Amino acid sequence: MTKKLTPEQIQQQKPYLAWGLSEKEYDYISQRLLGRLPNYTETGLFAVMWSEHCSYKMSKPVLREFPSTGKRVLQGPGEGAGILDIGDQQAVVFKAESHNHPSAVEPYEGAATGVGGIIRDIFSMGARPIAMLDSLHFGEIDQPRTKYLINEIVAGIGGYGNCMGIPTVGGETTFDPCYTGNPLVNAMCVGLMDQADMQKGRAQGIGNAVMYVGAKTGRDGIHGATFASADFADDKETQRSAVQVGDPFMEKLLLEACLELTHKHQDWLIGIQDMGAAGLVSSSCEMAAKADSGMELELDQVPQREPGMSAYEIMLSESQERMLLCIKKGFEKPVQDLFESYGLEAVVIGRVTAGHQYILHHQGNKVTDIPVSSLTDDVLEEQGTEVMPSRLQQAALQPVWQPTEFDFAATFYQMLQQPTIAAKTSITQTYDSQVRTNTVVGPGSDAAVLRIRRTTKGLAMTTDGNGRFVYLNPEIGGKLAVLEAAANLVASGAEPLGITDCLNYGDPHDPEVYWELHQSVKGMAAACRALEIPVISGNVSLYNETNQQAIYPTPMVGMVGLINDIQKYETIKLKNAGDKLFLIGTTTDDYAGSELQKMLQHEISGQLADIDLKQQVAGLQQVLHAVQAGLTSSVHDLSEGGLAIALAESTFATDLGLQVTVPLTDAQLFSETPGRFLISVAPAKVAQFTELMQDKALLIGEVIPQKKFELKTLTATYQLDLLRAQKLWEDAIPCLMKSKA
Amino acid sequence: MRVAVVVFPGSNCDIDLYEALTSVCKVEAAYVSYQQDNLAGFDAVMLPGGFSYGDYLRCGAIARFSNIMPAIQQFAAQGKPVFGTCNGFQILTEAGLLPGALKQNDSLKFVCKTVALRVENNQTVFTNQYQAGEVIQLPIAHADGSYYADQETLAALEANHQVVFRYATENPNGSLNDIAGITNRRGNVLGMMPHPERAVEQLLGNTDGLRLFKSLLAGQTIKEAAH
């Protein structure tokens, strides 16, 4: 850090450009918002608060398209996390957040602190975190760097979540070359609360105390938010300093202390917020802004890990495991005592003031005196320019790829070994998926299912994001991401309640990227409206580029659903010999962006068929009714690899086999037409089931007691070896990770 | 019967033990803070899994200096039942209530899965409801569960039938003699890496752990009948 520049030197030398603030923004701040030149500290605060990561200045116009209201919504976007009513005076709280940039640079700590951050968002609302999910997208497992990233990111997620005692119950892991330099690490946390315990991040009431709790402030993570708002290049290795280091033990103590405060001492507490991106500055000014208050802080009171930190460093540090509280005047001591009983520091660092100024004192000097709203509400929104990517304009003119002449059995076995399809057990078994003993269905099914103690209900949850489809058609891909998540919940017997999202894209100043963002959000929003579910929280991660190579546009959907009778949850596994097998939904030749196309062509191309949302939603409802009525023995949503892979997966970890006859070509067994399910039904329930499904259910075979897979297609009859299939599927990722590349 | 579930900073399976005892087995239980110094009024003590003190220094190494530990030592010395699962087992070895130590898994990774265990000794207060030699399934979830002791200690453990649970098909962590759980010489202190408290309800897919709690209750009933 250079010696502090004077306001005039800042104006002349423009150090703010390196911090991510544009000249236009700087001029607007000095001329319109302040009427003077901002000093060094103030300029730093503006740079970080006006970054895309904190202000959403470019994505906001697009995000407004999401529906965010509904009869269950108790808290929509804008707080630490969204909250939905689930009846019985209880609520479910959830949010997802990306930690892509830190994980690309320092994978263990990047992933670990991503988990830590999202957990704090959940308990800052007053909820007990009950489950974690993560959506990971890596490059192909053929480079040492990718293997290192996978090992470290997975270890970071497990290291933090396991220690916190929050089960990691689900998620997804996919592999594609576009994520090689820029892996995606999106973590979602789900919490459960009594509605009476709901908290907000606000600071109000003149004279009330602003208290700092948790870990001390160090120099780590300074400019993490602006770091996440810039793309990578090889000559910027020094960005490593922007990554924080996590301490899950400290966070476990902080979690228990904060929950004791929010659940037992609401009369002491006005508001609580996590110190996440942009640390103390964002949490404090947002808490003041939301309550339209003024705030004055004494930075010398902030617990510091190292000597000689400047005001700028104290305010921008992204040290982990810290929370900011607003405490009613007079209750500072009991709060201190409560935190001390957990071995934690709680310190008064300032007060809520009259007026609307945000004032900081450091070492006897007033280092900041600006309107609160100038940091939060006055940010200049940037309307991005949009252009349809040239690849999509060209795609319309190209012939559609169709698989021709291939060896079905060989393709079947090879497909099971594709990392995106292969078993993820080697990853998921390093996560504690059972702690707190509520996990009814853990990793490996369509969705995870948790029971809610002392009720008959359960929650199902999933994350989904298929960048390939969004790459080929952002709007349809956006619809598909939401529908796929809903299908996963429905297959588990849950009614979808709402979503959170992580929008992972490239540089939004690239008009093609901005168009992709806009179109896919449009598609997601349309699907949400069709399902009548709100988007209650989320996060945007832009600038996912390495040396100008952008990732596939990859919106991740995290969805939570409600199961009214937990005894009626459903899994993908076959249960009984003699059960009849049904294929739900029509299969057509849909290979654009499919796993088959990727495997055979080593690239994806083509056009996606448009989606009839109304029809899709009606189909989901029929399946949900069948599960809720207890008519199904197993339900598996068809996704990557199509029917052939769904059939195989439903037999794995059972002693059962399949006898199947389908009116489909060999290739169609791998088609990825959306909106389809594989359902097994006990013979006694077939009549009721087919009546409920009307003409949608096609009988395709039977579950048999032998470990055999006999498949008759329009082309030929095949005897497939299920034990071999399962072994290939199980060993694929461990083998790739061990192989020398 | 009244059971103490000891809570250390960083314990996280405390609720699982508590619920297994109270909701499922209908036994009276209470959380006891590591800061307490007595266990008066309790008939059994359980040390939960988790990451006491973040596993810093060594798993269980800091927890064993807690205020509550002398009371646990005394409780054990009186012959009353003391049970530790996962981190609880690690704490019991660090405290010297059980011999040996738990090292990092051979894989160097945390592992959460269900494993097969053979009940090697059903003559303890914790296992009297199991059949000798019976194979049961219980979940494990740990990074440091590789049991180690010197040859002399191992020989003594085997000779005295202190090995209560042994991994039956696959050794998931490199434990010597496939050891999953041991008692002290007297048989009233049991430590094990697997989590019986996670296997007490059909809804969660496994009830093989239930009989461990039932065993403790059965022992108590016999004791009460003898009075």
More confident residue, A432 or A236: A432
| pLDDT interval class at A278 (50, 70, 90) | confident
pLDDT, tens digit, 9 for 90 and up, residues B103-132: 999 999 999 999 999 999 999 999 999 999
Selected residue of A245, A433, A437 to mutate for chain B interface (largest B Cβ count, 10 A): A437
**pLDDT score at A405:** 79
Burial class, A705, CB count within 10 angstroms (exposed 0-12 / middle 13-18 / buried 19+): exposed
| pLDDT interval class at A550 (50, 70, 90) | confident
Tokens of A15: 């150090």
Q: Give residue for tokens 């399962």.
A: A726
Instruction: Kindly tell me if the per-residue pLDDT of A674 is higher than 50.
Output: yes
**pLDDT score at A1:** 42
Query: From the CA of B6, how many Å to the nearest CA of chain A?
Result: 15
Name the phi and psi angles at A537, rounded to 5: -170, 175
Q: Where are the alpha helices (DSSP H) in A546-685?
A: 595-601, 613-628, 642-651
**Identity (one letter) of the amino acid at A624?**
L
**pLDDT score at A395:** 80
Q: Percentage of chain A surpassing pLDDT 70?
A: 97
ipTM for the predicted complex comes to 0.96
HEC letters along A344-409: CCEEEEEEEECCCEEEEEECCEEEEEEEHHHHHCCCCCCCCCCCCCHHHHHHCCCCCCCCCCCCHH
* β-pair type (B82-85, B189-192): parallel
More confident residue, A662 or A240: A662
In the CATH hierarchy, which top-level class contains the domain A570-741? alpha beta
Q: What angle do CA A98, A100, A101 make, to 5 degrees?
A: 125
Tell me the residues of chain B between 67 and 96 that have a Cβ less than 8 Å away from chain A.
Answer: none
Instruction: Kindly tell me if the per-residue pLDDT of B29 is higher than 70.
Output: yes
| pLDDT interval class at A642 (50, 70, 90) | very high
Q: Is B110 on the interface with A (CB under 8 A)?
A: yes
Tokens of A537: 């929280």
pLDDT, tens digit, 9 for 90 and up, residues B65-94: 999 999 999 999 999 999 999 999 999 999
**pLDDT score at A241:** 56
Q: Is A456 on the interface with B (CB under 8 A)?
A: no
Closest CB to A430 among B9, B19, B111 = B111
Mean pLDDT of chain B: 96
Handedness of CA B161, B162, B165, B171 (dihedral sign): negative
Q: Is A409 on the interface with B (CB under 8 A)?
A: no
Selected residue of B24, B56, B112 to mutate for chain A interface (largest A Cβ count, 10 A): B112
Show me where the domains of chain A are located.
570-741
Residue A501 in marked binding region: yes
Separation of first and last alpha carbons in chain A: 40
Residue A121 in marked binding region: yes
Check CB contact under 8 Å for B15 and A437: yes
Query: From the CA of A436, how many Å to the nearest CA of chain B?
Result: 5
pLDDT, tens digit, 9 for 90 and up, residues A688-697: 999 999 989 9
Mean pLDDT to the nearest integer, A66-90: 95
- Bridge partners of residue A184, in order along the sequence: A137
**pLDDT score at A597:** 97
List the catalytic residues of A.
53, 99
**pTM of the entire predicted model:** 0.96
List the catalytic residues of B.
86, 195, 197
pLDDT, tens digit, 9 for 90 and up, residues A363-385: 999 999 999 999 999 999 988 99
| pLDDT interval class at B219 (50, 70, 90) | confident
| pLDDT interval class at A404 (50, 70, 90) | confident
Contact residues for B192 (Cβ-Cβ < 8 A; gap 6+): B84, B85, B86, B89, B164, B165, B180, B181, B182
| pLDDT interval class at A521 (50, 70, 90) | very high
Mean pLDDT to the nearest integer, B10-39: 97
**pLDDT score at A243:** 72
Check CB contact under 8 Å for B51 and A440: no
Query: From the CA of B221, how many Å to the nearest CA of chain A?
Result: 28
CB A52 within 8 A of CB A229: yes
pLDDT, tens digit, 9 for 90 and up, residues A139-194: 999 999 999 999 999 999 999 999 999 999 999 999 999 999 999 999 999 999 99
**CATH code linked to domain B2-226:** 3.40.50.880
Mean pLDDT to the nearest integer, A595-607: 94
Instruction: Kindly tell me if the per-residue pLDDT of B57 is higher than 70.
Output: yes
CB A279 within 8 A of CB A287: no
CA distance A682 to A705: 14
Q: Which of A170, A188, A95 is nearest to A535 (CA)?
A: A95
CB A477 within 8 A of CB A608: yes
**pLDDT score at A238:** 47
Closest CB to A431 among B10, B54, B112 = B112
Mean pLDDT of chain A: 94
Check CB contact under 8 Å for A434 and B112: yes
Q: Percentage of chain B surpassing pLDDT 90?
A: 96
Please report, to the nearest 10 degrees, the dihedral formed by the alpha carbons of residues A33, A37, A42, A48 taken in order. Answer: 70
CB B162 within 8 A of CB B183: yes
Tokens of B192: 């094990």
For residue A335, the tally of other CB atoms under 10 A from its CB is 22
CA distance A409 to A406: 9
Buried b (16+ CB within 10 A) or exposed e, A495-509: bbbbbbbbbbbbbbe
Check CB contact under 8 Å for B9 and A432: no
**pLDDT score at A383:** 86
3-state secondary structure of A647: helix
Q: What angle do CA A72, A78, A81 make, to 5 degrees?
A: 60
Mean pLDDT to the nearest integer, A419-426: 98
Q: Which of A684, A669, A661, A662 is nearest to A579 (CA)?
A: A684
pLDDT, tens digit, 9 for 90 and up, residues A204-239: 999 999 999 999 999 887 765 555 556 555 544 445
Tell me the residues of chain B between 31 and 70 that have a Cβ less than 8 Å away from chain A.
Answer: 49-51, 53-56
Mean pLDDT to the nearest integer, A573-580: 98
